[in-house]
Chain A
Amino acid sequence: MSAPQSAKDFQSMAKARAIIKRLKAVKNIRKITRTMELIATARFKKAMDRAAEAKAYTQKIAEIVGDLAAAELSFTHPLLEQREQEERVLLLVLTSNRGLCGGYNSGVLRLADQRLKALSKGRINQILEVSGKRGLSYFKFEGQQIDATYTNFEDKPTFDEVEELGNRFAELYISGAVDRIEVVYSEFHSISRQVAVRETLLPIQNLSTPEAETDQKHAVDYEFLPNAEAILEEIVPAAFKAKLFKCFLDAAVSEQIARMVAMKGATENADEMIRSLSTRYNRARQSQITSELSEIIGGAAALE
């Protein structure tokens, strides 16, 4: 066998082997992405159930607010008061702790960034609070000053945790330390639609939801115990906390959906890659066999 021929032989064998190596790597990646997709699907269902269960509370709160409004009471509460001059704005950004969830974090962070830029342009003091490791590392990279961080909110945010946060926000607002509190998170509309949004948490802008208002037509003459003011005093913070909780729940649901979709895409891409790589491997193998055969035939012909 001549030298150049064996080199060629070696090359095509090495090529086939390299392809096998890649094929194995891609297959492993596919396994991981497929598992992550399944996990995200399971978590999404749980998060979705939680969000659905929490809805009952929010709806009832809105209903009672509607009842109070129907009784023609004037709503006055420190959390409802709009400040004339907004000097300090607190921005809470909800991101995920883990990556591999497509455009979920980037969408939220882009919106938060825009808002921060607008605030600095307007020379308004900003206080930035970030939940989730992804947001943290982003703002650290950007060189933004972060005033508070939370990494304890995973896919199952509990009301107790959120309540603590809500109490602190309410205190900050009432004491005048901040004039406005905003949250940037990914709002859940449907399985195929989640949008990064910025919402004002405090001051509370519209306490009653549209559904509650339609209810007022058949208003019931309620007795308020101990009195309407005491109920109002309690229900405003409750509504605020329920809203904050909803933001966290929405963010959790959206994160799982985003991960599910991203991992589904990744699995599909891996499948495609596996297909093209196996085709290439088969071709390489075939050409190797062909060249070996022709070598043998050539060698036999030379002997004749």
Chain B
Amino acid sequence: MIAANTVQLVVVTPEKTLLTQEATSLQFPLEDGQIGILPGRAPMVGRLGIGELVVINGSEKTSYFIDGGFVQVKGGAVTLLTNHAEPVINLKVKEIEAAFNEALERPATSATAQAAKQHDIERNRRLLAILNR
């Protein structure tokens, strides 16, 4: 068997399958740091962080924003399960800044509200970091 030089990438959200495509390499954040995946990666299951998913297929490069979830690498298939995923091109700096400021000023009275606030701040901060690069 010839070693495959692409991986089959599938991005799934609870509502739909967002993406099914070939990729020569992938980069995305895990909970504790960035990871890169090349064809022939050993099987793994990982917990995703918040940040940018970069899909490189030959000379093509597309990026998405993902927000938590899981990744499963098995054989030549890479499956990303995430609650939210969006192409970075669709994101507007102004909207995110507004959301960021809203999250910063939001009063949080319970533990869950506090966690949600932290999550929103973190998420929007990373989004801004990607967009303002």
List the interface of chain A (C-beta within 8 A of B).
50, 53-54, 56-57, 60-61, 63-64, 67-68, 158-159, 163, 167-168, 171, 220-226, 230-231, 234-235, 238, 241-242, 245
Contacts and interface: CB of A to CB of B under 8 A. Distances in A.
B17 A224 contact: no
B81 A54 contact: no
Contact of A225 (B12, B14, B35, B116): B35
Interface residues of B, number: 28
Interface in B36-53: 42-47
B31 interface: yes
Contacts, number: 83
Interface string B1-36: 000000000001111110000000000001110010
A245 B111 CA distance: 24
B46 A225 contact: yes
A56 B17 contact: yes
Interface of B: 12-17, 30-32, 35, 42-47, 68-70, 72, 74, 79, 81, 83, 110-112, 116
Given A64-B70, A230-B31, A53 B15 contact: yes
Contacts of A50: 15-16
Contacts of A63: 72
Given A57-B14, A159-B83, A226-B32, A220 B74 contact: yes
- The residue in A50, A53, A241, A242 that gathers the most chain B C-beta atoms within 10 A of its C-beta is A53
Given A168-B112, A226-B32, A245-B14, A67 B47 contact: no
